[in-house]
Chain A
């Protein structure tokens, strides 16, 4: 019983951070209607910025967020403004050209990081945080994961207030609902898509950094996280923030249960199989289950 509770709590904490990463992807998918396959690569880029600051200047990894997140916002903005937007406006043989472009961008970022930092596994040890845990009702909780989960919740709440309470946030939501109507209402949709791409990248970077003290880091880890973010987005239904949170927590718990009761090797398999089943049988995500009733 305590093993089950332990697995559930571990999954919940991990899922919260997954949710933050996936919200970035959901936001981009909702506004631009494309799947951003560079998402994991952008996340890893943020993680490496924080890692490099820690390594060379001894800056606390969590404080690295304040450098890496604006940096990734800038990178995302530039990518959308000067590279991706070009391709969304032209006719091509394959309709998926934009998706393939983000794929190539992701590959370029990962290879760039590999060139600079090598493919070696890196870990960031914060004494008292990475290697320490406290017990709550007989369940051990790692400090790193609890801090990460709390940070993710704060950022998600902040994003919620930004999207509902500010003019720019409302413009983003309007563009996601109907970009042409938004344009008629005077929203500069081009600017909004660039901002959204920057915001999505920044959220991914923040999620990655919150995960950093409890995780290991190597360039290709980005591919796994792109897939995870996409799985969560499909589980939760596209463009839905609440859906992304549910999907993230669900994936975290499922992975944690699979790792506890089956084997570490099959941990990722369960998420993929659920993803395939949802994609084929519930294309609108899990929320269609509740709507039908």
Chain B
């Protein structure tokens, strides 16, 4: 307990100091990394912990982005108000959607969410008088080329998302989420109102996704329905980031998001094959699901054993504890 704060203070100081040291391009990359950490972490709360795999989180990202965008488009109000309006709007929309779709289970819930997100994309694309259609909304950046304020904001959002997830998961709610994920019928038999607790997971998840969307509007200064409601680039990438790092773990989504953004940037610098970063990422994900189905962090035991084997053999640590199948079956601790 005593060492707990130090574990967070040191990375915190590094995170605050980094943009002052690095050149602008790297700060842009860090901003993207933090944006994706926020998205993956918030998806993980609903998908990883409560087990409700949503294929439509782009809906909430897009609503968050359009919250500020529409305020600017219709009333000329600063898009920064979108940071407040976007998430609230998205949560208000999400609650009835959740109440309806939570009746469905597993893949049917996932695909119903996908359908809802696609409906929103089509409406925003075609209903020109409401959303300016496929042309999108363009603003001028508040701070121009200066990236430091944006970095500070997204760092705060990502930190808050991670903190809220951690607090929720370590409270009574976290155990309720896990019990719904592991066996919804058993959870209900034990008196857990599953729809209510799924909503409790949905609301913060939607809030932070939309907050990231509102930030995206302010940072990129240009949004289009096909970009912010995109199935592949937003909804699916959020899921794959979580799968890479490990669903239902605190740091897995953050790791997955970091790998995703850095991979994309690395490939972009290589001239001939710059477009293949998604292909490479998809192949990595296939490999991860095949060999480490619980993600890198979620299967850390397996990963570390691979690396530790030569040393452990040398030290003669033969009696190492190997979790049997029954240990895996049981409820996982919220913190991996």
Contacts and interface: CB of A to CB of B under 8 A. Distances in A.
Interface stretch (B81-89, B191-199, B214-222, B277-285): B277-285
A269 interface: yes
Q: Which of A99, A275, A279 has the most chain B CB within a 10 Å cutoff?
A: A279
A97 B107 CA distance: 10
A87 B112 CA distance: 24
Given A99-B110, A269-B119, A104 B289 contact: yes
B107 A93 contact: no
B290 A86 contact: yes
A76 to B, nearest CB: 15
A266 interface: yes
Contacts of B279: 108, 111-112, 114-115
15 contacts: A35-B111, A93-B181, A93-B248, A94-B51, A94-B53, A95-B106, A96-B53, A97-B293, A104-B282, A111-B278, A111-B282, A115-B273, A231-B115, A269-B126, A283-B104
A94 B247 contact: yes
Q: Which of B47, B110, B295 has the most chain A CB within a 10 Å cutoff?
A: B110
B329 A272 contact: no
Contacts of A214: none
B216 to A, nearest CB: 21
Interface residues of A, number: 42
Q: Which of B101, B119, B181 has the most chain A CB within a 10 Å cutoff?
A: B119
Contact of B126 (A94, A101, A104, A263): A263
A259 interface: no
A227 B116 CA distance: 12
Q: Could you say which interface size class chain B belongs to?
A: 35 or more
A2 interface: no
A157 interface: no
Contacts, number: 127
Given A100-B239, A108-B283, A265-B126, 11 more contacts: A35-B111, A83-B290, A86-B290, A92-B294, A93-B298, A100-B240, A103-B236, A104-B243, A265-B125, A272-B122, A283-B104
Contacts of B232: 107, 220, 223
Nearest to B278: A111
Contacts of A276: 112, 115-116, 119
B294 A227 contact: no
B100 interface: yes
B328 interface: yes
B160 interface: no
B268 to A, nearest CB: 14
Interface string B289-310: 1100111001000000000000
A280 B115 CA distance: 12
Interface of B: 47-48, 51, 53, 100-101, 103-104, 106-108, 110-112, 114-116, 118-119, 122-123, 125-126, 181, 231-232, 236, 239-240, 243, 246-248, 273, 275-276, 278-279, 282-283, 285-286, 289-290, 293-295, 298, 325, 328-329, 332
Contact of B100 (A90, A97, A280): A280
A280 B116 CA distance: 12
A92 B53 CA distance: 14
A231 B119 CA distance: 13
Given A107-B236, A280-B104, A227 B114 contact: yes
Interface in A265-283: 265-266, 268-269, 272-273, 275-276, 279-280, 283
A105 interface: yes
B62 to A, nearest CB: 16
Nearest to B125: A265
A91 interface: yes
A280 B103 contact: yes
Given A105-B286, A111-B279, A112-B279, A272 B119 contact: yes
Q: Say what secondary structure dominates the interface of chain A.
A: helix
Contacts of A83: 286, 290
Which 6 residue pairs spanning A and B have beta carbons closest together? A265-B126, A108-B282, A111-B279, A92-B293, A107-B282, A104-B285
Interface of A: 34-35, 83, 86-87, 90-97, 99-101, 103-105, 107-108, 111-112, 114-115, 220, 223, 227, 230-231, 263, 265-266, 268-269, 272-273, 275-276, 279-280, 283
B255 to A, nearest CB: 15
A273 B119 contact: yes
Contacts of B276: 111, 115
Contacts of B123: 269
A105 B289 CA distance: 11
A127 to B, nearest CB: 34
Contact of A93 (B48, B108, B119, B286): B48
A9 B316 CA distance: 76
Contacts of A105: 282, 286
B51 A95 contact: yes
B48 A94 contact: yes
A91 B289 contact: no
Nearest to A220: B232
A279 B106 CA distance: 13
Nearest to A269: B122
B210 to A, nearest CB: 21
